[in-house]
Homo-oligomer: A and B are copies of this chain.
Amino acid sequence: CATGSAAVRQGIRAIDANAARIVLVVGAEQMTTTSGPEIGKNLLKASYLPEEGDTPAGFAGVFGQIAQAYFQRYGDQSDALAMIAAKNHRNGVDNPYAQMRKDFGYEFCRHESEKNPFVAGPLKRTDCSLVSDGAAALVLADTATALKMRRAVAFRANEHVQDFLPMSKRDILAFEGCEQAWNQALNKAGVTLDDLSFVETHDCFTIAELIEYEAMGLAKPGEGAKLALDGETAKDGRLPVNPSGGLKAKGHPIGATGVSMHVLSAMQLVGEAGGIQVPGAKLGGIFNMGGAAVANYVSILDRIR
């Protein structure tokens, strides 16, 4: 799920190693031609199969368990999850690259219905990202070359933190790899969350976005819900999160997602994001993960030209 960001990172490294001056990074995935059960089986391979391989409902089941555990520790967060789903769907309406451009609204996302059944644990269909076909590409260049272009966006930071694969080896509600990647990236960039104009974060499930609020340091553990409920992460909030609509609305074509996050963030920074533009965006943060916070990639992007 983070292979797109892994590819971006390898491209950066090739340039840093003077092995390349310009790198084309492409992420692509075709999922809709595969049957539902097989998709579930394939996605579950992002888990530690000896312990998690039998999870009912596949990878959604893994996050269903995470949501369940979160609710047990911090109380029912169904309101906040519905707010996140509704926010991202609302944002996605304005994204011409989104797979689903429909404003479902909070009420629809909040309540179980025939069209919004429970999928795994407390997660309903509107809490899950989509099965998608998609592709994204971007061009990386060394700084001198980039500065000759009409516009250029730089990596103020690009960090990768790899956590243990088995969930039994970590506090699965802490997303510690995500936290560490954000800390490293903010340090490297010499900025704080307050300096960011927006964040694109990995909302494969709404519970993931909620926990990521806490892991990135936007809220204390167990208090992420308040941000969602108060609209602080809405497009006109204190820190817009997933102005693109996130994986929730734009879809989650596995290998393309990380690349797409970088592309859409760069578009924000050069002021060419169209309907999803965050006014005056200056600095953007990206978090893309593989598995349940196993492979953690954070980039901080800055317009330099």
Per the bound structure, the CA–CA distance linking A21 and B14 in Å amounts to: 16
Q: Which residues of B are found within 8 Å of A17, using beta-carbon distances?
A: 13-14, 16-17
Query: CB of A168 within 8 A of chain B?
Result: no
Q: Which of B10, B14, B16, B19 contacts A18 (CB 8 A)?
A: B16
Q: What sequence of 0s and 1s flags, for each residue 12-26 of chain A, a beta carbon within 8 Å of any chain B beta carbon?
A: 011011110000000
In the assembled complex, the CB of A141 is this many whole angstroms from the nearest CB of chain B, namely: 15
Most buried by B among A10, A13, A14: A13
Per the bound structure, the CA–CA distance linking A241 and B10 in Å amounts to: 33
Q: Which residues of B are found within 8 Å of A19, using beta-carbon distances?
A: 13, 16
In the assembled complex, the CB of A95 is this many whole angstroms from the nearest CB of chain B, namely: 32
In the assembled complex, the CB of A142 is this many whole angstroms from the nearest CB of chain B, namely: 12
Per the bound structure, the CA–CA distance linking A16 and B19 in Å amounts to: 9
Report the interface size class on chain A.
Answer: under 10
Q: Which residues of B are found within 8 Å of A13, using beta-carbon distances?
A: 10, 13-14, 17, 19
Per the bound structure, the CA–CA distance linking A18 and B15 in Å amounts to: 11
Q: Which residues of B are found within 8 Å of A16, using beta-carbon distances?
A: 16-19
Per the bound structure, the CA–CA distance linking A10 and B18 in Å amounts to: 13
Chain B residue nearest to A17 (CB atoms) is B16
Per the bound structure, the CA–CA distance linking A13 and B14 in Å amounts to: 7
Q: Which residues of B are found within 8 Å of A14, using beta-carbon distances?
A: 13, 17
Q: What sequence of 0s and 1s flags, for each residue 108-148 of chain A, a beta carbon within 8 Å of any chain B beta carbon?
A: 00000000000000000000000000000000000000000
Q: Which residues of B are found within 8 Å of A18, using beta-carbon distances?
A: 16
8 Å CB interface, A2-18 against B: 10, 13-14, 16-18
In the assembled complex, the CB of A13 is this many whole angstroms from the nearest CB of chain B, namely: 5
Per the bound structure, the CA–CA distance linking A133 and B10 in Å amounts to: 29
Chain B residue nearest to A12 (CB atoms) is B17
Per the bound structure, the CA–CA distance linking A16 and B14 in Å amounts to: 9
In the assembled complex, the CB of A184 is this many whole angstroms from the nearest CB of chain B, namely: 12
Q: Which residues of B are found within 8 Å of A10, using beta-carbon distances?
A: 10, 13
Per the bound structure, the CA–CA distance linking A16 and B10 in Å amounts to: 12
In the assembled complex, the CB of A273 is this many whole angstroms from the nearest CB of chain B, namely: 30
Chain B residue nearest to A20 (CB atoms) is B13
Chain B residue nearest to A160 (CB atoms) is B19
Chain B residue nearest to A158 (CB atoms) is B19
Known: A13-B13, A14-B17. 10 other contacts (CB 8 A): A10-B10, A10-B13, A13-B14, A13-B17, A13-B19, A16-B16, A16-B17, A16-B18, A16-B19, A17-B17
Name 12 interchain pairs, CB-CB below 8 A, sorted by A: A10-B10, A10-B13, A13-B13, A13-B14, A13-B17, A13-B19, A14-B17, A16-B16, A16-B17, A16-B18, A16-B19, A17-B17
